[in-house]
Amino acid sequence: MGPQPLTFAVSHHTLLRYSEAVAPSYNEVRMRPRDRGGQRTLAFALITSPPSVPRSRVDFFGNTVHRIDIGDLHETLGMAVETVVESTPPRRRPALRPWRRPDLERDARLEFALASPRVPLWSVTAGILRDWVGEDRSFDALVELATRIPNQFRYSTGATTVDSTIDDLLSGGAGVCQDFSHLFLALARHAGWPARYVSGYLGPTGELESTAGASHAWVEVCGAEGAWAGLDPTHGGHVGPHHLRLAVGRDYGDVAPHRGVYYGTAKAAAPEVTVRVTRMSERAARTAERGTALHWQQQQQQQG
Amino acid sequence: MIAPPGPACPPLPTSADECVTEGGRPRPPYARTLAAALADGSPLGGMREQAGAWFAARGITFGVPAAGDAAPIIPFDPIPRVLAAAEWRTLERALGQRVMALDAFIADCYGAQRALREGIVPARLVYSSTGYLRDLVGVRPPRSTHCHVAGIDVVRVDGAFMVLEDNVRVPSGIAYALVAREAMLELAHDWISAAGVRSIDGYATRLRRSLQRIAPRPWQASIAVLTPGPYNAAYFEHRMLADAIGGMLVTGNELVVHEDEVYCRHQGTLERVDVVYSRVNAEWLDPLLFRPESLLGPPGLIEAWRRGNVAIANSPGSGVADDKAIYPYVPAMVRYYLGEEPLIDNVPTYDISDDRQRRHVVTNLDRMVIKPVDASGGYGIGFGRLMDAAERAATAAQLDAHPRAWLAQEEVRLSRALCLAPDGGLEARAVDLRPFVLLDERPWVVPGGLTRVARDTETLVVNSSQGGGSKDTWVLSR
């Protein structure tokens, strides 16, 4: 018998308010879980208000993007995502091999070892890498970095914003998962490893039934063998079955859950986001999965 | 009747090597025209003013007026640039080859990326290029052509043409070439017919045909020329081209996307658009995907293109082949994609993000020209030769700190053409040439192009934004 899967129900609600009615608006959301390894999405629904028929595409990084156009005047746009995700713990901790630079130079994953808009590679982060792990470029050194970041910086919501830079974290000494992940990416890339940003949710651990709050972010690094391993520079260490992946990219800019443009002179308030992740019993999870299957079946029966 | 150059003819400055032999005689393609232009009673002396008035009357401007002034016109030099039929044939083939290779490279960047995997072009340069729009990987544009219009800047060094820069984002200048010809036909019709100059009138027809060819509904292609607006330096050109190809001239806020189809707001109605001839840089085309603050393109345009409901020329993402840091690898692209030897060379250029090449540049700075990789218009260019010790140190530090932002080229001696001096005499000024290439099923090069002239005898930068002027460019039919 392998490890038992855990199942989570995720409610991810976003409300956009405009100071006056706008139309039309065009939106792209990245809110469908991105399965990999032990993660499997059993059910997914995206409902908008005003109603729309979202269309989907897969972006460059393999994330599912839903496009939502609202043609009529609207003062608010609500997007409710309900998903059921199953997550199986890995059998063993990954250990990755570092790249030979000439191999990486001709590999598409080189992209994740270069600077990106929110992860510049400047001398200050190169200095931090040297101070913390010297010349060690092994996977163990990366684990050390992920462990070290939460000890060196204070986790504090409100210390930074969604637009903060690595410099803001370094000068203020405090930040959130997004900032910690960006700093880790800079250090890993200086060390010559392809490393990418992961957006997602953190499910309840231990005795907790559910967690409420915002989304989470962590990182994945890729070894020369081509495998990606997740590290969480906010909690310091490897990721587990409670890390539910949504999207991956070079940095936050590639995975932002919502991007939108609207016509009109209205001002948009900061989106109101609520996320709740609840542990589900095995039975409830199967019912949810069947429910989706049944729903699909019924929809298909309505055609000719 | 054209008089031969006689004793009345002033001595020709031999520094004008583009037009004059080492012996001080006009080069063969120039012989007839110079004889006529320099003969007694020639209208040459008054032609600059006449041309200026002619341009101003037609609203032909480059750039944005300072408060209260009229928009500036490009200073026009009435002595034409003349290319012999044979040298043009060679250049034409070379440019066609180059644009085919650039187009293949763009297709590869947004396809299998073979050249990157095989190390022909360093992947790091592509992945870090602002012109590489990764979200467009996998999109195949109509007819698989990306680079419909290219303007390749060439210079003549020691008699041979070399490419200085490839412009495939939104190359401008063709309208200035077209009006320069119109002005010359008005002012010196005799010279043109006597020399046997090939017509450049076919450009608009060819452009229209190649845009129609990529329309999703070719039987009723409605074409929109998308301009950033009247405050863009090349607005005159956008207006003129829209007229010439029978397209609508539109700004971003006049286009709207509905259910992945593109419409133009026109007198209260919406008119379907099939082809966008875009004069807006791709990163500004769609605020939903690229720069969110952009007002220059409608949200949803790229998805409409991705779904094949509208064609866009040049294909969004073509800018990757316009990146000056990638330019050094164009000859390698010609060999790789076409299996041919390049027919035209690059100016020797160094990749600053390569440590060895950067060291070479810093040690030999006095022979180098330093350019920012993603600027145009001749801004930010530095000549090592003219820097003092402090400036050299600052430049070296800059190259070390931001290697991907710079490129170094060996300073080459641009050929010089005879120009009418402010005092009415003759002087020699540096020139380049921007021929325009349309890529349809095969490349077509307009016989002529835009010859740009430095603003005075000392200057080596010819860009219009730097006060440079222009000349009519003649390709002789025989």
How many other C-beta atoms lie within 10 A of the C-beta of residue A269?
12
Question: In this model, does residue A183 exceed pLDDT 60?
Answer: yes
Going by DSSP bridges, is the β-strand pair A243-249/B382-383 parallel, antiparallel, or unpaired?
unpaired
pLDDT tier at B218, thresholds 50, 70, 90: confident
Mutate to test the interface with B, among A53, A107, A110, A116 (most CBs of B within 10 A): A110
Residue B199 buriedness (CB in 10 A; 0-12 / 13-18 / 19+): middle
Mean pLDDT within B390-419: 92
pLDDT tier at A304, thresholds 50, 70, 90: very low
Question: In this model, does residue B26 exceed pLDDT 50?
Answer: yes
**Closest by alpha carbon to B54, among B188, B159, B164, B180?**
B180
Mean pLDDT within A16-38: 94
Mean pLDDT within A44-68: 96
Q: Which range has the worst mean pLDDT, A16-20, A30-34, B90-94, B214-218? A: B214-218
pLDDT tier at A210, thresholds 50, 70, 90: confident
pLDDT tier at B7, thresholds 50, 70, 90: very low
What does the pLDDT read at residue A301? 53
How many other C-beta atoms lie within 10 A of the C-beta of residue B72?
16
Q: pLDDT of B136-181, one tens digit each?
A: 999 999 889 999 999 999 999 999 999 999 999 999 999 999 999 9
Q: Which range has the worst mean pLDDT, A23-27, A33-37, A287-291, B133-137? A: A287-291
What does the pLDDT read at residue A102? 94
DSSP letter (8 states) at residue A280: -
Q: pLDDT of A255-282, one tens digit each?
A: 999 999 999 889 999 899 999 999 987 7
Going by DSSP bridges, is the β-strand pair B469-475/B76-83 parallel, antiparallel, or unpaired?
parallel
Closest-CA distance, B456 to chain A, in angstroms, reads 41
Taking CA–CA distances from A262, the nearest residue in chain B reads B299
Closest-CA distance, B132 to chain A, in angstroms, reads 12
What does the pLDDT read at residue B80? 96
Q: Which structure tokens are listed for B279?
A: 């004069």
Mutate to test the interface with B, among A30, A60, A250 (most CBs of B within 10 A): A60
Cβ(B286)–Cβ(B297) below 8 Å: yes
Question: In this model, does residue B343 exceed pLDDT 50?
Answer: yes
- The answer to whether residue B122 neighbours chain A at the CB level (below 8 Å) is yes
Q: In degrees to the nearest 10, what's the CA dihedral of B372, B451, B449, B251?
A: 50
Is there a contact between B123 and A110 if contact means CB atoms under 8 Å apart?
Answer: yes
Residues 5-34 of A with CB under 8 A from B: 24, 26-28
What does the pLDDT read at residue B458? 85
Is there a contact between A26 and B288 if contact means CB atoms under 8 Å apart?
Answer: yes
Question: In this model, does residue A33 exceed pLDDT 70?
Answer: yes
Given A28, A110, A261, which is nearest B124 (Cβ)?
Answer: A110
Given A60, A115, A259, which is nearest B288 (Cβ)?
Answer: A259
Can you give the C-alpha Rg of chain B in angstroms? 23
Residues 133-152 of B with CB under 8 A from A: 134-135, 137-138
Question: In this model, does residue A302 exceed pLDDT 70?
Answer: no
Report the distance separating Cα B191 and Cα B422, nearest Å.
23
pTM: 0.93
Question: In this model, does residue A103 exceed pLDDT 50?
Answer: yes
Report the distance separating Cα B449 and Cα B181, nearest Å.
10
How many other C-beta atoms lie within 10 A of the C-beta of residue A133?
18
- Which string of DSSP letters, residue by residue, matches B144-186? G---SEEEEEEEEETTEEEEEEEE-SS---HHHHHHHHHHHHH
- Which string of DSSP letters, residue by residue, matches B405-422? GEEEEE-----EEEEE-T
Mean pLDDT score across all residues of chain B? 91
Closest-CA distance, B137 to chain A, in angstroms, reads 7
Report the distance separating Cα B428 and Cα B410, nearest Å.
22
Question: In this model, does residue A287 exceed pLDDT 50?
Answer: yes
Mean pLDDT within A201-216: 83
Report the distance separating Cα B137 and Cα B87, nearest Å.
39
Query: Helix B355-363 vs helix B389-401: angle between axes, to the nearest 10 degrees?
Result: 170
Is there a contact between B127 and A28 if contact means CB atoms under 8 Å apart?
Answer: no
pLDDT tier at B4, thresholds 50, 70, 90: very low
Is there a contact between B134 and A60 if contact means CB atoms under 8 Å apart?
Answer: yes
Question: In this model, does residue B3 exceed pLDDT 50?
Answer: no
pLDDT tier at A296, thresholds 50, 70, 90: low
- The answer to whether residue B116 neighbours chain A at the CB level (below 8 Å) is yes
Is there a contact between B292 and A28 if contact means CB atoms under 8 Å apart?
Answer: no
Q: Is the peptide bond before A50 cis (omega within 30 degrees of 0)?
A: yes
**Closest by alpha carbon to A70, among A86, A58, A52?**
A52
Question: In this model, does residue B40 exceed pLDDT 90?
Answer: no
Q: Which residues of B touch A105 (CB under 8 A)?
A: 119, 122-124
More confident of the two residues A89 and A131: A131
More confident of the two residues B277 and B58: B277
What does the pLDDT read at residue A303? 46
Percent of chain B with pLDDT over 70: 94
Mean pLDDT score across all residues of chain A? 91
Mean pLDDT within B78-86: 96
Alpha carbon distances (Å) from B407 to A56, A110, B324, B332:
41, 22, 7, 18
What does the pLDDT read at residue B1? 36
Cβ(B362)–Cβ(B401) below 8 Å: no
Q: pLDDT of A107-125, one tens digit each?
A: 999 999 999 999 999 889 9
- Of B65-79, B366-380, B384-398, highest mean pLDDT: B384-398
Mean pLDDT within B438-450: 95
Q: How many CA atoms lie within 13 A of B3 on its CB side?
A: 11
Interface size A-B, in CB pairs within 8 Å, comes to 51
Is there a contact between A108 and B123 if contact means CB atoms under 8 Å apart?
Answer: yes
Q: Which range has the worst mean pLDDT, A284-288, B8-12, B197-201? A: B8-12
